Amino acid sequence: MKSIQRRFNEIAAEHQNWSSYLIFAEAIKKQKFSKRIIKEWFDKLVDKDDYAPEEKREILRFLYNL
């Protein structure tokens, strides 16, 4: 599912001051990706310094609803 990565890269190029989490959220918004795909690409694209590890479950739950 390279479309998430492609969208992520396009948004990152336009908004260089955004965190990787915000870029990822924008990349998946209204795209109807499966939970598995969202989690897989979240782990690959979002910098671990952009969120607290203990909050990851809640963050993913929020992203699933975008």
2-50, pLDDT tens digit by residue? 799 999 999 999 999 999 999 999 999 999 999 999 999 999 999 999 9
pLDDT for residue 19: 97
| Burial tier of 39 (Cβ tally within 10 Å: 0-12, 13-18, 19+) | middle
How many of the other CB atoms lie within 10 Å of CB of 58?
A: 11
pLDDT for residue 7: 96
Q: How many structural domains comprise the chain? A: 1
Which stretches of 1-66 are assigned E, i.e. beta strand?
A: none
Number of H helices, E strands in the chain: 4, 0
Q: What is the mean pLDDT of residues 44-64?
A: 96
How many of the other CB atoms lie within 10 Å of CB of 35?
A: 11
Determine the structural domain holding residue 15 and report its residue range.
2-64
Q: What is the pTM of this model?
A: 0.91
pLDDT for residue 42: 97
